[in-house]
């Protein structure tokens, strides 16, 4: 009797979850950072993401425990080569060795689709790293080609919006002149290898720095008057889409219209220091829930209406060991115990560490049900 009741409760929970319909059609990705000492095991995270039907995950490294935990799943992985690897990756032998150790052993069972070489290198202060970036990307790509993987795994790097010298109006978007030489090579590389240009975009920062001038509704995807690009007459009702188009126009100014822009990070913190205006659970909920609603519509930006916006939300969990202001530790959709930080309709399931026999059976049933649900979504 108890088991039957438990099964019915789990089934009802999943069916009634308002996430069921929207997540089935959602191509959103999630950033899975691990700068914390209290996170659930990768195998537990695999259950959680399966229950959310999220099929794209971005890592900041190539953690073998994570890649193994997601073996034989439908999850596509972006893995990362940290900035500390850039100099080594300019050496073809070392680049190929890294791929043989961190990609080849897993790729037959875990879908690795992308390697990000470095993160926000061009807006850092290390000129040596800047000089290594393009060569490292080129060398990693060459190593993938030698191993027959360049058609399966693409190579890119992630930038902050700080690479822009002008972002408004979007049609006047341009890259910083002092970075132009670096970025031109990278844009040419993306065009040649058919790989995306990644940008980490956070409207939160713009609001935090100028709360009196930047309308909160504009950055949270809420109804607002919007802004008009006087050159194109295109109207923007949110800052994120304006930032994306500014990058598109900056790339166009470098002679390319064949490179797709993807958002490798965006999110909103649920907590911050006293001077971090707007870092609240209410605003974080509005930003992420409204963003998911927009993504569900499979829409493009005003300048690229036929190209669906492609986004990886930051982040899956709050990370308690991240340095910097309090906001850095509070971007997660979930607490490490699997409890949602706020409700945006993503009713995931993080299995408990200690199972009774009934819970083991219930978990098996629930996972089976999720598998069937995923099949329904795919039809």
- Name the helix (H) or strand (E) containing 371: helix 357-378
Q: Which of 76, 84, 87, 120 is catalytic?
A: 120
Residue 199's beta-bridge partner residues? Answer: 159, 263
Decide if 84 is catalytic.
Answer: no
Residue 236's beta-bridge partner residues? Answer: 227
Query: Which residue matches tokens 């059976």?
Result: 361
Rounded to the nearest angstrom, the gap between the alpha carbon of residue 172 and the centroid of all alpha carbons in its chain is 26
Of the candidates 277, 269, 208, 276, the residue with the CA atom closest to the CA atom of residue 239: 208
- The whole-angstrom separation of Cα 135 and Cα 156 is 12
Residue 57's beta-bridge partner residues? Answer: 30, 77
User: How far, in Å, are 201, 221, 223, 268, 310 from residue 226 at the CA level?
Assistant: 19, 10, 8, 20, 22
| DSSP sequence for 109-122 | TSEEEEEEEEES-T
8 Å CB contact between 237 and 226: yes
Tokens read off for 367: 């996972």
8 Å CB contact between 29 and 57: yes
User: How far, in Å, are 295, 361, 365, 367 from residue 4 at the CA level?
Assistant: 37, 11, 11, 16
Residue 93 CB-density burial (10 A; 0-12 exposed, 13-18 middle, 19+ buried): exposed
8 Å CB contact between 170 and 146: no
Q: Which of 76, 265, 276, 328 is catalytic?
A: 265
Decide if 87 is catalytic.
Answer: no
| Active site members | 120, 265
């Amino acid at each position: 009797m108890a088991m039957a009741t438990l099964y019915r409760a789990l089934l009802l929970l999943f069916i009634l979850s308002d996430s069921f319909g929207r997540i089935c059609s959602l191509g959103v990705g999630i950033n899975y950072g691990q700068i914390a000492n209290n996170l659930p095991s990768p195998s537990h995270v695999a259950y959680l993401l399966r229950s959310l039907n999220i099929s794209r995950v971005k890592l900041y490294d190539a953690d073998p425990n994570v890649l193994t935990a997601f073996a034989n799943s439908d999850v596509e992985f972006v893995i990362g080569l940290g900035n500390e690897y850039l100099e080594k990756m300019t050496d073809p032998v070392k680049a190929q060795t890294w791929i043989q150790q961190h990609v080849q052993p897993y790729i037959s069972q875990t879908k690795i689709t992308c390697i990000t070489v470095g993160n926000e290198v061009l807006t850092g202060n290390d000129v040596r790293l800047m000089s290594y970036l393009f060569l490292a990307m080129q060398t990693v790509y060459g190593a993938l080609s030698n191993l027959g993987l360049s058609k399966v795994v693409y190579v890119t790097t992630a930038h902050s919006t700080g690479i822009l010298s002008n972002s408004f109006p979007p049609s006047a978007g341009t890259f910083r002149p002092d970075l132009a030489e670096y970025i031109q090579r990278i844009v040419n590389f993306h065009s040649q290898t058919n790989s995306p240009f990644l940008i980490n975009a956070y409207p939160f920062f713009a609001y935090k720095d100028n709360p009196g001038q930047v309308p909160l509704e504009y950055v949270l995807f809420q109804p607002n008057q919007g802004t008009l690009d006087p050159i194109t007459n295109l109207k923007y009702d949110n800052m994120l889409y304006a930032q994306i188009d500014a990058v598109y126009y900056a790339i166009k100014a470098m002679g390319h219209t064949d490179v797709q822009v993807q958002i490798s990070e965006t999110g909103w913190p649920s907590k911050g220091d006293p001077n971090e205006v707007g870092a609240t659970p209410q605003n974080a909920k509005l930003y992420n829930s409204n963003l998911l609603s927009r993504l569900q519509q499979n829409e493009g930006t005003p300048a690229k209406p036929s190209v669906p916006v492609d986004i990886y939300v930051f982040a899956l969990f709050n990370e308690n060991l991240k340095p910097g202001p309090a906001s850095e530790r509070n971007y997660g959709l979930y607490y490490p115990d699997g409890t949602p930080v706020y409700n945006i309709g993503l009713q995931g399931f993080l299995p408990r560490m200690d199972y009774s026999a009934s819970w083991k059976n219930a978990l098996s049933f629930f996972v089976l049900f999720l598998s069937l649900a995923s099949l329904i979504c795919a039809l």
